[in-house]
Amino acid sequence: MDLYEYQGKELFRLLEIPVPDGRAASTAAEARDAAEGLGGQVVVKAQVLTGGRGKAGGIKPADGPAEAESRAEEILGLNINGHVVRRLWVERASEVAREYYLSVTFDRGEKKPLFMLTREGGVDIEEVAASTPEKVARLHVEPLTGFQPFEARWLCFAAGITEPGEMKQVVDIIKKLRGGFSALDAMLLEINPLIVTPEGEVRALDAKVTIDDNALYRHSRIAEGQASEDGDPQERMARERGVTYVKLDGEIGVLGNGAGLVMSTLDVVGQAGGRPANFCDLGGGAQADSVVSALEVITSDRSVRGIVFNIFGGITRGDEVARGLLEALDRLTIDLPIVVRLDGTLAEAGRALLAERAPQNVYVESTMLAAAGRVVELAS
């Protein structure tokens, strides 16, 4: 689960990581009140779960309450990469002498937390890593030994941060990020930029936080505090129904059992000339209740023009999958074409059952490529 900047900064404040003073606002009047309370020059920042806010006009300075209200009116309702701005963060403006980048994320390949630190802050880390990789200091943290203070100092030296006062502060922030990474069950804690003020104070000017969804039961306050009304409606519905779902930008709904199989289906739909509208994983089985929940989420996306249902029966039998799908379709009204690919254990029996009892908008194929080609053809 991704958090908004203002939520991430509240967590950073709890971790005792320095952040600028600020207040959340949902209206232009609230932004004016926030600016009055903060005093002086402020920055009005759109709160959306996407990058590129500055380039899209979602971050604007204001010299006082009246200008903050005006800037808020300009930003609220702005569409930034498909995300409509409904919430703002108004914070006291910071003078910037230098900008760094600091993050800790989970490296799935190494199965270890990975720290990255560079003096090239304020820009996308991907750009820095691609053009000047030698400027990015990287360090994997050993899970068994835990984080060691000398590792933070090594990161600073490797990144070229050698001024004693700055290094001391950055080392302290790295230590607190590492503690928070474990305590919050985080997948990413990112500060970009981590600024140095003209007075030499190091503080987090931005906060990007991703929490492991599987650990949210241990962090109910974080889950409850997420402003769900600002998120993608399909992904919000999926969370409410316990469906593993990721919204994409195509027109072919994709449903399968197993993350690897669904990922393969996305590729094959693309190979057949279509664009996947989502990633949706039923997990190991395909019971009627889970199929109903998944189809409700997929069909709530009005851009979907066809659905491919890709199931491989291992422990789950093909005839059981077919019965679950038929029961689900009895409980739903779906006019879109649905192409079902069944393979594996008792797949022939499942395909025969669907051919005999399925509605007219359900088509059965025996291979993934044939199913992808059929659904793309029907959707067009």
Annotated catalytic sites, by residue? 101, 190
Bond into 193 cis (ω within 30): yes
CA distance readout (Å), 196 to 15, 61, 127, 163: 19, 19, 22, 11
Long-range contacts (CB closer than 8 Å, 24 or more residues apart) made by 120-126: 121/192, 121/193, 121/194, 121/195, 122/192, 122/193, 124/51, 125/101, 125/192
Q: What is the 3-state secondary structure (H, E, C) of 123-177?
A: CCHHHHHHHCHHHCEEEECCCCCCCCHHHHHHHHHHHCCCCHHHHHHHHHHHHHH
Please, which residues bridge with residue 99 across strands? Answer: 195
Instruction: Report the alpha-carbon distance of residue 189 to residue 121 in Å, rounded.
Output: 15
The radius of gyration of the chain's CA atoms, rounded to the nearest angstrom, is 25
Vertex 104: Cα angle to 222 and 140 (nearest 5): 140
127 CB burial (10 A radius; 0-12, 13-18, 19+)? exposed
CA-based nearest residue to 286, from 253, 254, 325: 325
And the tokens for 359? 């509605």
And the tokens for 38? 């903060």
